[in-house]
Structure 1
Amino acid sequence: MRERLIDLLIAAAVTAATTFPAIWYPPFHPGAVVLGLFASVPLIWRRRAPVLVALVTGVATTWLSLIQMLPDMPYGQLVATYTWAELASPAWRIASIVATTAGVVFSLVMPQEKPPSFGYVGLMFVTAYALGAGVRARRDRIAFLEERTLRLVEEQAAAAGNERARIARDMHDVLAHSVGLMVVQAEGGASVVRADAGRAEAAFDAIAETGREALVQLRHTLGVLREQAPEPAGVDAIPSLVERARRTGLDVSLDRVSLPTVDPVVGATAFRVVQEALTNVVKHAGARRVSVTLSLSDRLDVCVRDDGRGGDAVFGHGLRGMLERVQAVGGTLRTGPRGDGPGFEVVASLPVGGR
């Protein structure tokens, strides 16, 4: 509504300025008045059809010039030039430049205007075009910044969602592993508390150590929420996982090579894969023996195999979270029954340097 009112006011002002000479100075020229109306009134629709309005006003302006009834400035055609420079598409702008240039030259040559008029009129049209192009560039810049802001907001929301998912996976890994081991150790300690006090004491000591380790890892995980740098466990902490699993009665073997420094996120991922795999073995598999193997070629390969009843079992959210964590660093994960006998295996292949 506001733009419509502005266009009406511009058209009214241009109409008055264009028709004034034909009305005010005798003799009265009705033809010049009609041409003046055609050179100004179409500006009401300049935003809807900028090129068509420029064509109509341009023809009328040229005609006024030929009959020597053009006012000091071609007001309507200047406004039309500003408008198509701002709103027209690139192809229509090129066509309008050619047509406007031809019309201006024709309007100056045919009445045999003096050379200074060429520079004066040309400067007016160049200025009108430059103003329109400047407004168009500013509008495009604003649209670009708005789109960029929207994209940044979406990226921040996605990053926040990924971070929440990562924290949820860490919490699941820590709690499921530690609480699972504590339950198994507590059940074992309670069953031998009278028959073998030494084994019961060792089981309860293991429960306390597992609980302390869980608290440390929870503090590291929740440190992200306090804007503290987390200290994720890495490859070097895998032997402690194996040792805690042994205390539950499992026969756990660890075969690893001397690993170079790997990306901290990859190291944390390898740690979580082994942690989740051992937790599933302790809680679900009913296995006696477990082997944990770390090997290195161009990638870090992590393999956890048991001899339990894993089969085709799917252990809740743990394997899905493990897959998400491995894929996040650009790795691959394979889980399923062992091909060389009974049991279940988890095999992860991770890039040494991270994604």
Structure 2
Amino acid sequence: MSIPFVVDRPDGLRPATWADYALTSLSVLPLVWRRRAPVAVALAVLAAGAAYKLSLDGPGQPLPYPGLVALYSVAALSPVRKRVAVGTLVAALILPSVALNTQDAKELMFSFFVFGAAYALGRLTHTRQAYTAAVEDRAAQLERANRIEAEQATARERARIAREMHDILSHAVSIMIVQAEAGPVAVRAAPARAEAAFEAISETGRDAMVQLRRMLGVLREETTPRDSAAAPREPQPGIAALPALVERVSLGGPAVAYETTGTPRPLPLDAEATVYRIVQEALTNAVKHAAARTVSAQLAYGDDELILTVLDDGRGPDAAQGPGTGHGLIGIRERAAAHGGTASAGPGPDGRGFEVRAVIPLDAITPGPPDAPLVISPAEVGT
């Protein structure tokens, strides 16, 4: 808007005055607030331009730039009713403006074109900003969803590691305690049995160390080539390792009978590890709490499911009232649920002893909901 005041005017026109400067500035200054009050600014700019044209008729521009910017702001920032009202007002003012200026049809068409282009550009800007905001909002939602999923995955992994640590340490320590307590008695009465008990202690300890080293190796964030070479690579124990587990428990502890019925079939490694851990935890409970003399462990292969049953002749549900936090039986349920199965624990078939029973489907072993609610009976608290 300053060009008419720094460029020499044609001969025959009066020079610009301070009033011309003031009114021209008045038509531009409201644009500072165009984002806060676009409609009010547009009306102020139109009023200042009309006053300038009707009262002073000073130096002007070929195009009313403040009006174009104000209409663009209204189209980009105002709701539909306000922007339609302002657009209609501007279109209505174009006719008298051209009539007071050149009265030329070309100027009329050009004015409609440029003001229409300003309005359309404002709408395009609004659409682009809305699209950008929607994309940013979607990105933020995806980021939140990914963060929540990562936190849930971390929680599930921590629960899995806690189950593994509990099963490994609880079983190993329980067997070692039982064997150590039976050792001194057997030294006097049956030296051969005492020797077997001490061998069972050392074997159980070595097995626990191997499994702990494997788990700790997985938990390390950074490993050197030397650590990688030294870390054990064998998979977790599976069904084939159950006879050795039963033998270790039987040395110095209750007599454990193990049998398999039905037609065995190959299972995924994670399913075999689940079977092993369930049997291991059930035997550990029998050793720690039941004071049982005999325990039976059975794997029954059906047409579409595998049934694990561990039954002892000990104190029954009363054994579950001893000290503890119940992690063992909860872990059994979680392991079975992870493969779409179920697990239960309670008195034996005749009300004597304690039975742990798990059913794992064989037709479609797929991970189930890891956070499925678990119903724990009062008899299981403290196991």
TM-score normalised by the chain length of structure 2: 0.69
For 1:158 and 1:188, locate their aligned partners in 2 and report how far apart those are by CA, in whole Å: 45
Q: What is residue 237 of structure 1 aligned with on the other side?
A: 241
For 1:252 and 1:83, locate their aligned partners in 2 and report how far apart those are by CA, in whole Å: 86
Q: What is residue 189 of structure 1 aligned with on the other side?
A: 183
CA-to-aligned-CA distance 1:185-208 (integer Å, 9 cap, x gap): 222232111332222222222222
Q: What is residue 56 of structure 1 aligned with on the other side?
A: 40
Of all paired residues, the percent bearing the same amino acid is 36
Structure with greater Cα Rg: 2
Q: What is residue 381 of structure 2 aligned with on the other side?
A: none
CA gap 1:288/1:110 in 2 versus in 1, 3 angstroms: farther
CA gap 1:350/1:82 in 2 versus in 1, 3 angstroms: farther
CA gap 1:330/1:319 in 2 versus in 1, 3 angstroms: same
Matches within 5 A, 1:129-208: 129-208=123-202
For 2:91 and 2:121, locate their aligned partners in 1 and report how far apart those are by CA, in whole Å: 17
CA gap 1:59/1:308 in 2 versus in 1, 3 angstroms: same
Q: Residue type matched to 2:283 in 1?
A: L
CA contact (8 A) 2:31 2:66 kept: no
Q: Secondary structure at the match of 2:219?
A: coil
Shift of 1:275: 1.0
Once superposed, what is the RMSD of the aligned Cα atoms?
Answer: 3.8
For 2:154 and 2:313, locate their aligned partners in 1 and report how far apart those are by CA, in whole Å: 40
- Which region of structure 1 is more displaced relative to structure 2, 100-109 or 311-320? 100-109
Q: Residue type matched to 1:354 in 2?
A: P
Q: What is residue 310 of structure 1 aligned with on the other side?
A: 316
Q: Secondary structure at the match of 1:341?
A: coil
CA contact (8 A) 2:336 2:358 kept: yes
Shift of 1:79: 4.8
Q: What is residue 35 of structure 2 aligned with on the other side?
A: 46
1:353 to 366, 371, 374: 366
Q: Residue type matched to 2:158 in 1?
A: R
The number of residues matched between the two structures is 323
Matches within 5 A, 1:221-260: 221-226=215-220, 231-247=235-251, 248-260=253-265
Matches within 5 A, 1:107-126: 107-108=93-94, 111=97, 113-126=107-120
Shift of 1:337: 1.9
Shift of 1:214: 1.3
For 2:23 and 2:234, locate their aligned partners in 1 and report how far apart those are by CA, in whole Å: 80
- Which region of structure 1 is more displaced relative to structure 2, 247-256 or 185-194? 247-256
CA gap 1:99/1:254 in 2 versus in 1, 3 angstroms: farther
For 1:340 and 1:77, locate their aligned partners in 2 and report how far apart those are by CA, in whole Å: 93
CA-to-aligned-CA distance 1:104-134 (integer Å, 9 cap, x gap): 4434456565223333222223223333443
1:286 to 287, 291, 294: 291
Shift of 1:327: 3.8
For 1:252 and 1:275, locate their aligned partners in 2 and report how far apart those are by CA, in whole Å: 14
Q: Residue type matched to 1:262 in 2?
A: L
Q: What is residue 213 of structure 2 aligned with on the other side?
A: 219
CA gap 1:115/1:327 in 2 versus in 1, 3 angstroms: same
For 2:333 and 2:135, locate their aligned partners in 1 and report how far apart those are by CA, in whole Å: 42
Q: Residue type matched to 1:130 in 2?
A: L
CA gap 1:123/1:341 in 2 versus in 1, 3 angstroms: same
For 1:144 and 1:230, locate their aligned partners in 2 and report how far apart those are by CA, in whole Å: 44
For 2:255 and 2:75, locate their aligned partners in 1 and report how far apart those are by CA, in whole Å: 81
Q: Secondary structure at the match of 1:311?
A: helix
Q: What is residue 92 of structure 2 aligned with on the other side?
A: 106
Q: Secondary structure at the match of 2:357?
A: strand
Unaligned ranges ≥5, structure 1: 1-15, 48-52
